[in-house]
């Protein structure tokens, strides 16, 4: 089972057991978190799309660590003026292990409705 989740203004394709780095979250290391902004679910080759989010579906994860990425060096200079300024930036991140992708019966009903709609459209096209 796969899911597309949104956190920190970015979207991530995840499956159970994945370890992902996201923008820094305010939870402590070792805490379990619930990511409820699920945009898409894939189960047994069938897709469920949200408009824009899926209600009653969420992803459970455990925070492994907080950290900071490698430094990115920024150099500003003006030619022929002997002006230059060197700066750096380190982005904070949180590393999460995806433990469970939970979809409720309501999202399964939506999947069934989508399947029936596709089947009906294929029948209409065949005529």
Q: What are the tens digits of pLDDT across the range 33-87?
A: 999 999 999 888 888 888 888 888 999 999 999 999 999 999 999 999 999 999 9
pLDDT at residue 11 in the model: 97
pLDDT at residue 54 in the model: 87
pLDDT at residue 115 in the model: 72
pLDDT at residue 105 in the model: 63
SS3 content of the chain, % helix, strand, coil (to 5): 15, 55, 30
Domain that holds residue 27: 2-126
Are 59 and 101 a contacting pair, CB within 8 Å?
yes
What phi and psi, each to the nearest 5 degrees, are found at residue 94? -125, 135
What phi and psi, each to the nearest 5 degrees, are found at residue 105? -55, -30
Determine which helix (DSSP H) or strand (DSSP E) holds 10, and give its type and residue range: strand 10-15
Q: Round to whole Å and give the CA distance between 9 and 77.
A: 32
pLDDT at residue 107 in the model: 56
Q: Is the dihedral of CA 27, 14, 38, 69 positive or negative?
A: positive
Looking at the predicted structure, is the pLDDT value of residue 22 above 80? yes
The overall average pLDDT reported for the chain is 90
Side-chain half-sphere CA neighbours of 52 within 13 A:
4
Q: Domain tally for the chain?
A: 1
pTM beyond cutoff 0.85: no
Q: What are the tens digits of pLDDT across the range 94-124?
A: 999 999 999 876 655 666 667 777 777 788 8
Looking at the predicted structure, is the pLDDT value of residue 89 above 80? yes
């Amino acid at each position: 089972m796969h899911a597309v989740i949104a956190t920190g203004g970015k979207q991530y394709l995840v499956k159970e057991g994945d370890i992902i780095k996201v923008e820094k979250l305010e939870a402590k290391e070792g805490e379990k978190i619930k990511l409820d902004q699920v945009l898409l679910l894939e189960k047994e080759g069938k897709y469920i799309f949200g408009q824009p989010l899926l209600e009653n579906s969420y992803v459970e994860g455990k925070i492994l660590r907080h950290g900071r990425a490698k430094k990115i060096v920024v150099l500003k200079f003006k030619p022929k003026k002997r002006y230059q300024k060197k700066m750096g930036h380190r982005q904070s991140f949180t590393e999460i292990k995806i433990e469970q992708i939970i979809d409720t019966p309501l999202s399964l009903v939506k999947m069934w409705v989508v399947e029936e709609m596709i089947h009906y459209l294929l029948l209409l096209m065949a005529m």
